[in-house]
Chain A
Amino acid sequence: MPFVPTTDAERAAMLERIGARSTDELFEVIPSPVRFPRLALPPGEPELTVARRVQALAAANRPAAQMACFLGAGTYHHYVPAAVRALVSRGEFLTSYTPYQPEISQGTLQTTFEFQSLVCDLLGMDVANAGMYDGSTALAEAVLMAERITHRTRVVLAGGVHPEYRNVVATYVAERGTELVASEVTVADAMLCEADPAALLDEQTACCVVQQPSFFGRIGDWAALRAACNRVGALLIIVCNPLALGLLKPPGEWGADIAVAEAQPLGIAMEYGGPWVGMMATREKYLRQLPGRIVGEAHDAAGRRGYVLTLQAREQHIRREKATSNICTSEALLALHTTIYLSLLGPAGLRQAAESCYQYAHYAAAEIARLPGFQVLTPEPFFHEFVVRGPRPPDAMNRRLLAADILGGLPLGRFFPALADCTLYCCTEMNTRAEIDELIRVLSEP
């Protein structure tokens, strides 16, 4: 068997050393009625045969990345430089594990330290962890962290926070007696209105969560909200799109206490939803409440610089039921994607990627707004997404676009019944003027 090298002769030699007559004998501790069940699975097949099967499943999909894609809503089609894929597929990164032995894990440890540093610089925060499962679970952990810091259990979520992120927060706090309050999203005078969450704050509020840009693309100004949080002693949590931070003021400069982000836009394939990695950063004074792995600088006896897992007294393997979280991964390989992506793009490249998204989105929005019967509801300024209300139901519109090989935006009725006639469109640097013009042509067909 290709993946189990042991031959019959080797097995016999090992059994003799063990003092057992057969491998079956090693399993005699398992009650015989349940021992050695016959599994009704297809028989194993050679690599070539399996590859054909799996390729056929892949071919039964129609990937967004191979179309003119205007679908975003928390998952984004961006360019992944070739060097990212080349480097992350190195076996030394791919087939190592959690760096429990720092002397032979400096590759993973240093790249993780670099990831933490990049997260801090990009988000404008003091300290970051090594990574969370994704953006949504990073937010859920941020909410739990805010409850620990404030000893309060009321959480205000802005209506512009991704609805699936809000769902995940609700699952995480379900058994903790947390009161979740969300601000409203309405449409008035052909304009989307995201109510100010500041109105919902009170002295029992642990934290207020906002998203930058909002789920609907709007770029918020959080100065007043920061002041409002200060008045009641609530923490400010900002969920952000890290690619937008090539352009936008980072959470740290808005005064965020905790900032989280989904790193997928930075060098990670959409891959039908994962695996990705969540960024999570906070202020220095909250470091001991930060969940997840953290890597720190250390030195050996000869004075050489290296890196180690540190502050482990927060974690489940030491603290057990008193740990900050049960998480014991950092999505290290995905964090490596992002670290390499950011080092390739640098400040000029990331700025340009962000500006391209902004420019294409505004061009598309302006052209759509000109079409008879269409309205763009997201108020200025917006980043790379905007809400469109058109003359036909969103699904019907999308079917028409699909026929022209265009993947339309997200029909919003799925999450917001009041927006059932609306679609969330997204543009990135992957779009071209020709694609957008074709989108406009199909949308304008009678």
Chain B
Amino acid sequence: MTESPNGRAAQHTVTIRPEPSGGPPRPSEPLLSELSVAGRCGQRLPMPDVPVTPLPSGSLLRPALPLPELSEPEVVRHFTRLSQLNYAVDTGFYPLGSCTMKHNPKIDDEMAGLPGFAGLHPYQPAEMVQGALRLMWELERALAEITGFSAVTLQPAAGAHGELAGMLMIRAHHLARGETARRRVLVPDSAHGTNPATAAMCGYEAVTVPSDARGNVDLAALERLLGPDVAALMITVPSTLGLFDERMLDMTAAVHAAGALVYGDGANLNALLGIARPADLGLDVLHINLHKTFAQPHGGGGPGAGPVAVRADLEPYLPVPVVRRVGEGVYDLAYDRPQSIGQVRAFGGHFGVLVRAYTYIRLLGADGLRRVSEAAVLHANYLRAALREWYDVAYDRPCMHEVLLSGRRQKAAGARTLDVAKRLIDYGFHPPTIYFPLVVDEALMIEPTETEAKPTLDAFVAAMAAIAREAASTPDVLHAAPHDTPVGRLDEATAARHPVLRWPQTPAPRAESGEPPSATRASR
């Protein structure tokens, strides 16, 4: 390239503004486009050692490639500095409710990166990938054992993707029985937004079921809604209120009596390992979030994986391919399954995530998994008991792995849940999930997980108590929080009204002759 695609970059100066908190001024990290300098390069590839073939005609080629130009040290420093702007489980307590932000054993990542796994091409013949297929088969068996179901697909890429696969299987089940009138799917009002969104993607009408005063699904209301037009009830177990429904078995029996199926959202499975198997509770289909319960780090928002477990008669509908054991220690992938809902993703699924889950389950075993859920539930109940003095507990009965508070008292004093959350940042903690579930006013959903030690929980309680006192005495401190972060509260309304979603478009540099510049030829 003879011209810079980012001519403006050289003039970039880092903006330094005084910090509102009075601390030393801190430069913001420039964008890659602002760091770009014409002629820099962070990676060189060997030149092809074969005779040169002319390139296709110019009309098929791009005249310009407007990418930033940086050296390797600049790239390393840029991304390292950006990483330091993130709060993470590796740096502190992250009690984000419904997300299970626990510590994941580091060995899991190392195993996923083994060349014998990371270097596999999905179209390699089965005889070349026996270790991978065996791992998948054993993981399917382990997940089936943990959940009580008989068959599992590992293909879905995420929880919501598992919902799509699971609901399509339910649809296939009804259609196979000629039940075309089942067009509605019932969803509790406390449900995660993916549930109604998934029902709509599958062509269903989503109908809301209310919760009762104790945080259970309102069974009477459910029974009124059930009928020959209902395909399924979608429930999360334990619920998104952090509770185990006190009439779980009655609820699932009522759904079955109406000829509908129960779809289980397994987002909260971290409470149930060795405690109760969802299939035993009357669920027919369950997706499992490997990134929550089974050790895939969340990665800033993916990757995850959403395997789906089903009862025996739904097995024919699993997405293709399925892993099959064809002999003692011999595995392959089966595609010829005429009743399958089809593929939900190309090339199998998130294999690297599966390696982590497999490793994790082998590390813990049956006893270890039960201790995970026991500790997760113990820790949540400990926070419920310790925080009750300062905050309203939305449903004050033993909770499962997360506790739901309401910031009603603080709101009355002039500080909203958002302010409490932002003030927690000043105390060094990641805030809980806020304003979800929607059915609780000023919700604070706290999931401590099993991997936190008691001193951490105590420090969190002390911070929450201090914030409650501040909310009563000096709410303005909360309104202005957080005080010592790289940026303060950002103006999200303006950002949505006038969206800036990319760096400024770079003017396309044109080569002098009209010929596209050629990296291959230029250096010969």
- Tell me which residues from 245 to 287 in chain A have a Cβ below 8 Å from any Cβ of chain B: 245-250, 253, 269-275, 277, 287
Residues 297-312 of chain A: 1 if any B CB is under 8 Å from the residue's CB, otherwise 0?
1111111111110111
B197 at interface by CB-CB < 8 Å = yes
Given contact pairs A58-B115, A95-B88, A326-B198, A45 touches B301 in the complex (Cβ within 8 A):
no
Instruction: List residues 360-383 of chain B with CB under 8 A from any CB of chain A.
Output: 361-372, 374-375, 377-379, 381-382
A150 sits at the interface (CB 8 A) = no
- Cβ-defined contact, B277 with A37, below 8 A: yes
Which residues of chain B in 183-209 are interfacial with respect to chain A, using CB atoms and an 8 Å cutoff?
192-194, 196-203, 205-206
Contact B349 A274 (CB under 8 A): yes
Interface string of A99-113 (1 = CB under 8 A from B): 111111111101111
Instruction: Find out whether the CB atom of B378 lies under 8 angstroms from the CB atom of A14.
Output: yes
Partner of A332, one of B80, B123, B300, B378: B300
Give the Cβ gap from A314 to chain B, nearest Cβ, in Å. 10
Closest to B205 in A: A321
- Assess whether B304 is interfacial by the CB under 8 Å rule: yes
Q: Which residues on B sit within 8 Å (CB–CB) of A310?
A: 492, 495-496, 499, 501
A271 proximity list for chain B (CB < 8 A):
112, 117-118, 120, 351-352
Interface-centre pick from A10, A29, A326 (highest chain B CB count, 10 A): A326
Residues of chain B contacted by A329 (CB below 8 angstroms) = 157-158, 160, 301-304
A330 adjacent to B301 (CB under 8 Å): yes
Chain B residues within 8 Å of A133, by CB: 157-158, 161, 345
Q: Does chain B have a CB within 8 A of A59?
A: yes
Q: Which residues of B contact A2 (CB under 8 A)?
A: 105
Known A58-B115, A164-B346: A15·B378 in contact at CB below 8 Å: yes
A5 interfacial contact with B, CB 8 Å: yes
The 6 A-B residue pairs with the shortest CB-CB distance, nearest first, are A65-B119, A58-B116, A44-B365, A333-B299, A60-B131, A91-B90
| Cβ contact of B377, chosen from A27, A295, A298, A349, cutoff 8 A | A27
Shortest beta-carbon distance, A238 to chain B, in Å?
13
Pick from A111, A272, A321, A336: contact of B117, CB under 8 Å: A272
A333:B303 contact, CB within 8 angstroms: yes
**Alpha-carbon separation in the docked complex, A340 to B80 (Å):** 11
Residues on B with C-beta less than 8 A from A17 are 382, 385-386
Query: Contact partner of A54 among B194, B319, B359, CB < 8 A?
Result: B359
Say if the beta carbon of B85 comes within 8 Å of chain A. Answer: yes
A61 CB contact (under 8 Å) in B50, B117, B192, B249: B117
Across-interface contacts of A103 in B (CB, < 8 A): 422, 425, 482, 485-490
Contact A30 B68 (CB under 8 A): no
The stretch of B219-227, B406-414, B451-459 in contact with A is B451-459
Contact of B344 among A62, A171, A275, A345 (CB under 8 A): A171
| Contact residues in A for B382 (Cβ distance below 8 Å) | 14, 17-18
On whether the beta carbons of B488 and A349 are closer than 8 Å, the reply is no
Chain B CB within 10 A, most for which of A66, A74, A135, A347: A347
Q: Are A175 and B171 neighbours in the complex by a CB distance under 8 Å?
A: yes
Closest B residue, CB atoms, query A331? B302
Nearest chain-A residue to B424 (Cβ)?
Answer: A101
When C-beta atoms are compared, the residue in chain B nearest to A45 turns out to be B362
Partner of B520, one of A43, A301, A350, A355: A355
A410→B343 contact, CB < 8 A: no
| B254 interface residue (CB < 8 Å to A) | no
A-B residue pairs in contact (CB < 8 Å), sample of 17: A4-B375, A18-B385, A27-B244, A39-B145, A42-B365, A51-B110, A57-B131, A64-B121, A96-B298, A105-B87, A116-B502, A175-B203, A274-B349, A329-B301, A343-B68, A348-B519, A349-B42
B105 cross-chain contacts in A, Cβ below 8 A? 2-3, 47
Q: How far is B425's CA from A58's CA once the two chains are assembled, in angstroms? A: 42
B303 proximity list for chain A (CB < 8 A):
274-275, 329, 331, 333-334
Q: If A18-B382, A31-B248, A329-B158 touch, does A171 touch B67 (CB 8 Å cutoff)?
A: no
| Shortest beta-carbon distance from A258 to chain B in Å | 15
Tell me which of A43, A91, A323, A398 contacts B367 (CB under 8 A). Answer: A43
- The chain B residue sitting closest to A66, CB to CB, is B119
Residue from B85, B202, B433 with most neighbouring chain A CB atoms (10 Å): B85
Tell me the bound Cα distance from A184 to B40 in angstroms: 46
Q: A75-B347, A348-B519, A359-B52 are in contact. Are A41 and B501 (CB under 8 A)?
A: no
Interface size class of A (residues with CB under 8 A): 35 or more
Any A CB within 8 A of the CB of B122? yes
Q: How far is the CA of A47 from the CA of B364 in the complex (A)?
A: 10
Q: In whole Å, how far is A36's beta carbon from the nearest beta carbon of chain B?
A: 7
Cβ of B500 within 8 Å of any chain A Cβ, yes or no, is yes
B31 CB-CB contact with A under 8 Å = yes
Q: Which of B65, B454, B485, B517 contacts A13 (CB 8 A)?
A: B454
CB-based contact B128/A429 at 8 Å: no
Closest CB-CB distance, B41 to chain A, in whole Å?
A: 5
Q: When the two chains form their complex, are residues B157 and A275 in contact, meaning their CB atoms are under 8 A apart?
A: yes
Within 8 A of B (CB), among A1-33: 1-6, 10-11, 13-15, 17-20, 23, 25-31
Q: A209 within 8 Å of B by Cβ?
A: no
| One of B70-78, B256-264, B307-315, B463-471 contacting the partner | B70-78
Q: Is the CB of B124 within 8 A of A59?
A: no
The answer to whether A235 has its CB under 8 Å from any CB of chain B is no
Residues on B with C-beta less than 8 A from A1 are: 368, 371
Whether B86 contacts A319 by the Cβ 8 Å rule is: no
Segment at the interface with B among A78-86, A187-195, A198-206, A224-232:
A78-86
Asked whether, in the complex, the Cβ of B120 is within 8 Å of the Cβ of A64, the reply is: yes
Give chain B nearest CB distance to A186 CB in angstroms.
23
Q: Is the CB of B491 within 8 A of A299?
A: yes
In the complex, which residues of chain B have a beta carbon less than 8 angstroms from the beta carbon of A20? 381, 398
Is A378 part of the binding interface, using a Cβ–Cβ cutoff of 8 Å?
no
Which residues of the other chain, A, contact B130 by a CB distance below 8 angstroms?
60-61
Q: Is A375's beta carbon under 8 Å from chain B?
A: no
Residues B246 and A333 in contact, CB atoms below 8 Å apart: no
Report the bound CA distance from A75 to B129 in whole Å: 16
Contact B499 A50 (CB under 8 A): no
Residues of A near B502 (CB, < 8 A) are: 113, 116-117, 120-121, 127-128
Q: In the assembled complex, which residues on chain A have CB atoms less than 8 Å from the CB atom of B490? A: 102-103, 298-300, 306-308
- List B residues 220-259 near A (Cβ within 8 Å): 243-244, 246, 248-249
Are B75 and A340 in contact, CB atoms less than 8 angstroms apart?
yes
Q: How far is the CB of B5 from chain A (nearest CB, A)?
A: 6
Q: How far is A419 from B74 in the complex, measured between Cα atoms in Å?
A: 49
Contacts A103-B422, A110-B31, A275-B350 given: A59-B131 contact, CB under 8 Å?
yes
Contact indicator A168/B343 (Cβ below 8 Å): yes
Whether the pair B374, A50 counts as a contact (CB closer than 8 A) is no
Would B121 and A270 count as touching, CB distance under 8 A?
yes
Contact of B61 among A55, A114, A249, A305 (CB under 8 A): A249
Enumerate chain A residues within 8 angstroms of B67, measured Cβ to Cβ. Answer: 118, 121-122, 342-343, 345-347, 350
Give residues of chain B (329-369) contacting chain A, Cβ–Cβ below 8 Å: 341-353, 355, 358-359, 361-369
Using CB atoms, name the residue of chain A closest to B520.
A355
Asked if residues A301 and B488 are in contact (CB atoms below 8 Å), the reply is: yes
**Closest residue to B67 on the A side, CB-wise?**
A347
CA distance A334 to B297 in the complex (A): 12
Provide the residues of chain B in CB contact with A61, threshold 8 Å: 116-117, 120, 128-132
A344 within 8 A of B: yes
- A151 interfacial contact with B, CB 8 Å: no
Q: Do A296 and B499 have beta carbons less than 8 Å apart?
A: yes
Asked whether, in the complex, the Cβ of A295 is within 8 Å of the Cβ of B501, the reply is yes
A71 to B206, CA, bound (A): 44
CB distance from A79 to the nearest CB of B (A): 7
A13, A28, A104, A124: the one contacting B425 at CB < 8 Å is A104
* B103 and A3 within 8 A (CB): yes
